[in-house]
């Protein structure tokens, strides 16, 4: 037996037939946890229950070990393609969330002024009746589109469905405009497809990996990190471009300590060398791309010598790394990154990354970018959603023509009164995202909330945003609830089940239940045509010949691998205007933007100031986990990385505390100083997500970088908020 599922069970997993559904729904408690769940028991009285993780968005398969109704351990599911038997350090600490003593325990309604964080306890009926009443009022007085949903995480699936059924299209996740949106737009403009999540990066087969400001190893996306380790031990070359000597840089063959905000220049210089020295994939470029001649002309002015003066990277290092890419093509992966909202020209930087990959012929090729497997698992038919009353609310103040998804920052802007708007947002439902930390300019977010007629927050913990709510809904954690099926697109397509491994603690409820209960009160039952969640899941699984009882036992069903690369038989097809890979973007040209990326200078830090960079710690997912007592045994605070020479100038001592002050005079809480040679002298670095101020959270250690992000540069193409444009100095 390994991690609770033996080999025979996995053979059975692979051999599911097309047997129909037909589960009896007896024994369900009101939240969908079956009293007779088909769970694996071991001789020791420990039950091993498969589910999938939610400590970050990667959704790794988990085996939860449960004894006497308490989770005693979480392990990686050996048959799940995103975990391969291992969890990352955060995932192992998931019990810390469920058993966090700070958890929200019952529904609350605001008792004093908004933002004072004073509430009275109410019943679920009281809370839901109140929300439904306000939703009807806002729809009748203004429009359903004036009711916005901000969401993060898989639990939001049914809440999103409810809000769409109610008639609102004002639905956004900060993970787009504040994180990976520019990447998706940049790749879509180039290849006609997005990178997707989990990323379609074939790290395990690559012969050369180039990380540009991407901190694999600190960014603990489980499968990527596993593949990264395998690739390095298989001899793959590694280039790391970063102003900070990250964990990944410690493994690099070439580390390029680039001056912040100059990455586009480096990418263009690499293209210059690769084209000039005929190192590109000629056949691939001839066959699949358009705009090569324009690109050749464009990159002529980005010689390594010139780019050295911009980036600080010596010409011989630019040439050496470019030549190695040319030698290793097409199994070269210029990693697209994930959190890419840095300087406001991020779509263009992502375009430059995509173009370089195209020159090397890596899109659709082994060791580059694969084509993920497809699987259709239809949802039950429901009536069509009502049509929007008017154009997207997030774009009414300023339009971004290639913003494919709704901008969370745009919704925040649309909450302020403005003469040109067709709808000032009147209410927010905030599910699982602490907007005060996840949107830039926290002061602006707090001001926006004061304009609202109504604010609902659903969360597990009493985050800062909870203190602003009119109604608080205590969410069940991912270990206590069902969610919708995860239909995964990776090397193999798969279907995974999230199921409760224990009953919800306190008076908490799963989001599917909240959505269905609200639907009842809003006369939207037809959008939830099922009696309970197990019935919904079983019916959905039946469409691909599976039964819920099988998934409850096995956790995941992996379907056969489909072709991954052009060489496997994938027919190259590019959903761009031209039907080819666009080195020159016709769409950008048509909208008046640079059709090929151009390097533009960004502001320098004022004298005595340093660019503020931020990132992740391997055991935390930003502020979502920084109160987790299990993970805090490893890292319970952040520190500010300061170059040794700078520290000497300011008489800063390693391990001492310092207050940071930004260009607008905003000061941080005291934060521990890390004096190091491993960062350039023109920037400082912090892990994001610490420095909580919410009064009912235990861990308030460290400093909150979000407080210092009082400025951002907006990406003119898709509205992303480039946040690495703030500068800080030291208060001594
Ligand atoms: S990468 Fe880690 S935190 Fe994220 S889902 Fe996987 S195990 Fe959980």
Cα separation, 479 vs 489, in Å, equals 23
In percent, the amount of the chain with pLDDT more than 70 equals 94
Q: Which residues contact 293 (CB under 8 A, 6 or more apart)?
A: none
Closest CA to 296 of 681, 728, 584: 584
Angle ∠(102,105,109) on CA atoms, nearest 5: 110
pLDDT in tens, 360-398: 999 999 999 999 999 999 999 999 999 988 889 999 889
Residue 408 belongs to what H/E stretch? helix 408-413
In this structure, are residues 334 and 353 in contact, taking their beta carbons and an 8 Å threshold? yes
pTM over 0.85: yes
In this structure, which residue's CA is closest to atom 6 in ligand 1? 60
Cα separation, 481 vs 49, in Å, equals 13
In this structure, are residues 564 and 371 in contact, taking their beta carbons and an 8 Å threshold? yes
Q: Report the separation in Å between the CA atom of 93 and the middle of ligand 1, taken as the mean of its atom positions.
A: 10
Q: Is 55 in the pocket of ligand 1 (CB under 6 A)?
A: yes
Q: Which atom of ligand 1 is nearest to the CA of 223?
A: 1
pLDDT in tens, 456-468: 999 999 999 999 9
Cα separation, 612 vs 726, in Å, equals 6
Q: Which atom of ligand 1 is nearest to the CA of 621?
A: 3
> Which pLDDT score, from 0 to 100, does residue 390 have?
84
Instruction: Write a three-state SS string for 76-135.
Output: ECCCCCCCCCCCCHHHHCCHHHHCCCCCCCCCEEECCCCCCCCEEECCHHHHHHHHHHHH
> Which pLDDT score, from 0 to 100, does residue 603 have?
87
Q: Is 97 in the pocket of ligand 1 (CB under 6 A)?
A: no
Cα separation, 494 vs 375, in Å, equals 7
Q: Report the separation in Å between the CA atom of 59 and the middle of ligand 1, taken as the mean of its atom positions.
A: 6
Domain extents for the chain?
Answer: 7-92+481-506+530-558, 108-177+376-474, 201-369, 610-731
Q: Which of 3, 51, 53, 617 to mutate to test the pocket of ligand 1 (most atoms within 8 A of CB)?
A: 53
For 254, 351, 554, 720, the CA distances from 296, given in Å and listed in that order, are 26, 16, 53, 29
Q: Is the preceding peptide bond at 74 cis, omega within 30 degrees of 0?
A: no
Q: Which residues contact 125 (CB under 8 A, 6 or more apart)?
A: none
Q: Which atom of ligand 1 is nearest to the CA of 56?
A: 4
The one-character DSSP state at 520 is H
610-731: CATH class = mainly beta
In this structure, which residue's CA is closest to atom 8 in ligand 1? 91
Assign 349 to helix, strand or coil: helix
In this structure, are residues 421 and 389 in contact, taking their beta carbons and an 8 Å threshold? no
> Which pLDDT score, from 0 to 100, does residue 10 have?
24
pLDDT for 11 beyond 70: no
pLDDT in tens, 290-343: 999 999 999 999 999 999 999 999 999 999 999 999 999 999 999 999 999 999
* Cα 298 to the center of its chain, rounded Å: 33
Q: Report the separation in Å between the CA atom of 484 and the middle of ligand 1, taken as the mean of its atom positions.
A: 18
Burial class for 232, CB neighbours closer than 10 Å (0-12, 13-18, 19+): middle
Q: How confident is the model at residue 96 (pLDDT cuts 50, 70, 90)?
A: very high
Q: Report the separation in Å between the CA atom of 445 and the middle of ligand 1, taken as the mean of its atom positions.
A: 29
pLDDT in tens, 411-420: 999 999 988 7
Task: Select 108-177+376-474's CATH number: 3.30.70.890, 3.90.220.20, 3.40.50.740, 3.40.50.720.
Answer: 3.40.50.740
* Average pLDDT over the chain, rounded to an integer: 92
Assign 574 to helix, strand or coil: coil
pLDDT in tens, 207-234: 999 999 998 888 889 999 999 999 999 9
* Strand ranges in 265-361 using DSSP code E only, listed in sequence order: 289-290, 332-334
Q: Report the separation in Å between the CA atom of 307 and the middle of ligand 1, taken as the mean of its atom positions.
A: 38
The total number of residues shown for the chain amounts to: 732
In this structure, are residues 371 and 365 in contact, taking their beta carbons and an 8 Å threshold? no
Tell me the fold of 7-92+481-506+530-558.
N-terminal domain of TfIIb (2.20.25)
Q: Tell me the pairing of strands 454-459 and 471-474.
A: parallel
Assign 281 to helix, strand or coil: coil
Q: Report the separation in Å between the CA atom of 85 and the middle of ligand 1, taken as the mean of its atom positions.
A: 12
Q: Is 432 in the pocket of ligand 1 (CB under 6 A)?
A: no
Cα separation, 286 vs 392, in Å, equals 40
Joined together, the tokens standing for residue 63 give 């085996």
pLDDT in tens, 515-559: 999 999 999 999 999 999 999 999 999 999 999 999 999 999 999
Q: How confident is the model at residue 24 (pLDDT cuts 50, 70, 90)?
A: very low
Burial class for 634, CB neighbours closer than 10 Å (0-12, 13-18, 19+): middle
Q: Which residues contact 479 (CB under 8 A, 6 or more apart)?
A: 51, 64, 71, 94, 95, 97, 98, 500, 501, 502
> Which pLDDT score, from 0 to 100, does residue 14 have?
26
Q: Report the separation in Å between the CA atom of 434 and the middle of ligand 1, taken as the mean of its atom positions.
A: 19
Q: Which atom of ligand 1 is nearest to the CA of 89?
A: 2
Cα separation, 704 vs 687, in Å, equals 9
> Which pLDDT score, from 0 to 100, does residue 235 have?
97
In this structure, are residues 325 and 361 in contact, taking their beta carbons and an 8 Å threshold? no
Q: Which atom of ligand 1 is nearest to the CA of 62?
A: 7
Q: Which atom of ligand 1 is nearest to the CA of 92?
A: 7
Q: Report the separation in Å between the CA atom of 90 and the middle of ligand 1, taken as the mean of its atom positions.
A: 6
Instruction: Write a three-state SS string for 141-185.
Output: HCCHHHEEEEECCHHHHHHHHHHHHHCCCCEECHHHHHHHHHHHH
In this structure, are residues 46 and 65 in contact, taking their beta carbons and an 8 Å threshold? yes
* Cα 372 to the center of its chain, rounded Å: 18
Asked if 7-92+481-506+530-558 and 201-369 have one fold, the answer is no
pLDDT in tens, 644-690: 999 999 999 999 999 999 999 999 999 999 999 999 999 999 999 99
Tell me the fold of 201-369.
Dimethylsulfoxide Reductase; domain 2 (3.40.228)
> Which pLDDT score, from 0 to 100, does residue 25 have?
22
pLDDT in tens, 611-621: 999 998 888 98
Q: Is 56 in the pocket of ligand 1 (CB under 6 A)?
A: yes
Q: Report the separation in Å between the CA atom of 219 and the middle of ligand 1, taken as the mean of its atom positions.
A: 10
> Which pLDDT score, from 0 to 100, does residue 22 have?
24
Closest CA to 380 of 566, 194, 537: 537
pLDDT for 583 beyond 50: yes
Angle ∠(231,221,189) on CA atoms, nearest 5: 85
Q: Report the separation in Å between the CA atom of 94 and the middle of ligand 1, taken as the mean of its atom positions.
A: 9
Q: How confident is the model at residue 423 (pLDDT cuts 50, 70, 90)?
A: confident
Q: What is the mean pLDDT of residues 560-586?
A: 96
Residue 23 belongs to what H/E stretch? none
Q: Which atom of ligand 1 is nearest to the CA of 82?
A: 6
Q: Which residues contact 348 (CB under 8 A, 6 or more apart)?
A: 186, 264, 594, 597, 598, 717
Q: Report the separation in Å between the CA atom of 141 and the middle of ligand 1, taken as the mean of its atom positions.
A: 43
- Tally of helices (H runs) and strands (E runs) in the chain: 23, 28
Q: Is 222 in the pocket of ligand 1 (CB under 6 A)?
A: yes
pLDDT in tens, 248-288: 999 999 999 999 999 999 999 999 999 999 999 999 999 99
Q: Is 60 in the pocket of ligand 1 (CB under 6 A)?
A: yes
Q: Which atom of ligand 1 is nearest to the CA of 88?
A: 2
Q: Report the separation in Å between the CA atom of 651 and the middle of ligand 1, taken as the mean of its atom positions.
A: 40
> Which pLDDT score, from 0 to 100, does residue 379 have?
96
Assign 671 to helix, strand or coil: strand
Q: Is 88 in the pocket of ligand 1 (CB under 6 A)?
A: yes
Q: Is 221 in the pocket of ligand 1 (CB under 6 A)?
A: yes
């Amino acid at each position: 037996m390994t991690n609770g599922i033996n080999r025979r069970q996995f053979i059975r997993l692979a051999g599911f037939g097309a047997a129909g559904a037909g589960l009896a729904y007896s024994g369900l408690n009101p939240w969908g946890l079956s009293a007779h769940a088909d769970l694996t028991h071991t001789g020791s009285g420990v039950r091993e229950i498969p589910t999938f993780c939610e400590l970050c968005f990667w959704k790794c398969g988990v085996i939860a070990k449960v004894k006497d109704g308490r989770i005693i351990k979480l392990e990686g599911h050996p048959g799940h393609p995103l975990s391969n038997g291992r969890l990352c350090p955060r995932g192992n600490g998931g019990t810390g969330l469920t058993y966090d003593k700070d958890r929200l325990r019952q529904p609350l309604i605001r008792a004093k002024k908004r933002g004072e964080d004073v509430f009275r306890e109410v019943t679920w009926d009281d809370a839901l009746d109140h929300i439904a009443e306000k939703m009807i009022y806002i729809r009748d007085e203004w429009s359903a589109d004036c009711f916005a949903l901000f969401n993060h995480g898989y639990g939001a699936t049914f809440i999103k469905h409810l809000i769409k059924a109610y008639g609102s299209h004002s639905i956004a996740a900060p993970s787009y405009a504040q994180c990976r949106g520019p990447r998706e737009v940049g790749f879509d403009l180039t290849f006609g497809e997005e990178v997707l999540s989990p990323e379609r990066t074939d790290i395990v087969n690559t012969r050369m990996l180039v990380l540009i400001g991407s901190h694999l190893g600190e960014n603990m996306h489980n499968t990527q990190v596993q593949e990264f380790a395998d690739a390095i031990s298989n001899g793959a070359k590694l280039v790391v471009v970063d102003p900070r000597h990250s964990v990944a840089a410690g493994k690099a063959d070439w580390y390029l300590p680039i001056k912040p905000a100059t990455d586009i220049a480096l990418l263009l210089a690499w293209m210059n060398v690769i084209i000039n020295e005929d190192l590109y994939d000629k056949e691939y470029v001839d066959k699949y791309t358009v705009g090569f001649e324009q690109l050749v002309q464009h990159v002529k002015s980005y010689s390594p010598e010139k780019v050295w003066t911009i980036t600080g990277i010596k010409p011989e290092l630019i040439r050496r790394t470019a030549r190695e890419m040319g030698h290793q093509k097409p199994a070269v992966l210029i990693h697209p990154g994930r959190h890419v909202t840095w300087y406001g020209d991020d779509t263009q930087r992502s375009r430059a990354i995509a173009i370089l990959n195209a020159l090397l012929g890596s899109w659709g090729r082994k060791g580059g970018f694969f084509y993920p497997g497809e699987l259709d698992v239809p949802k039950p038919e429901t009536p069509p959603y009502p049509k929007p009353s008017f154009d997207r609310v997030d774009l009414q103040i300023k339009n971004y023509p290639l913003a494919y998804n709704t901008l969370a920052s745009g919704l925040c802007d649309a909450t302020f009164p403005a003469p040109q708007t067709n709808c000032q947002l009147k209410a927010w439902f905030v599910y699982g995202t602490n907007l005060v930390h996840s949107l830039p300019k926290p002061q602006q977010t707090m001001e926006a909330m004061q304009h609202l007629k109504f604010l609902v927050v659903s969360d597990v913990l009493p985050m800062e945003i909870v203190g602003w709510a009119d109604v608080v809904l205590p969410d069940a954690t991912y270990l206590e609830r069902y969610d919708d099926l995860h239909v995964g697109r990776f090397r193999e397509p798969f279907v995974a089940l999230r199921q409760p491994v224990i009953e919800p603690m306190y008076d908490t409820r799963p989001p599917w239940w909240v959505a269905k209960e609200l639907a009842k009160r809003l006369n939207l039952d037809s959008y939830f045509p099922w009696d309970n969640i197990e019935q919904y899941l079983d019916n959905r699984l039946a469409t691909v010949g599976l039964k819920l009882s099988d998934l409850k036992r096995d956790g995941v069903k992996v379907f056969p691998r489909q072709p991954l690369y052009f060489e496997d038989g994938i027919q190259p097809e590019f959903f761009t205007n031209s039907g080819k890979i666009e080195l020159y973007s016709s769409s950008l040209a048509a909208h008046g933007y640079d059709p090929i990326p151009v390097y533009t200078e960004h502001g320098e830090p004022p004298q005595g100031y340093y660019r503020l960079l931020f990132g992740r710690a391997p055991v935390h997912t930003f502020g979502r986990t920084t109160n987790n007592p299990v993970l805090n045994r490893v890292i319970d605070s952040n520190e500010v990385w300061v170059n040794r020479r700078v520290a000497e100038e300011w008489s800063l001592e390693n391990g001492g505390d310092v207050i940071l002050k930004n260009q607008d005079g905003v000061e941080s809480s005291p934060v521990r100083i890390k004096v190091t040679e491993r960062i350039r002298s023109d920037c400082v670095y912090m892990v994001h997500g610490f420095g909580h101020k919410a009064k009912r959270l235990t861990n308030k250690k460290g400093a909150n970088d979000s407080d210092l992000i009082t400025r951002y540069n907006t990406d003119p193409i898709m509205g992303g908020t480039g946040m690495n444009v703030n500068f800080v100095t030291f208060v001594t």
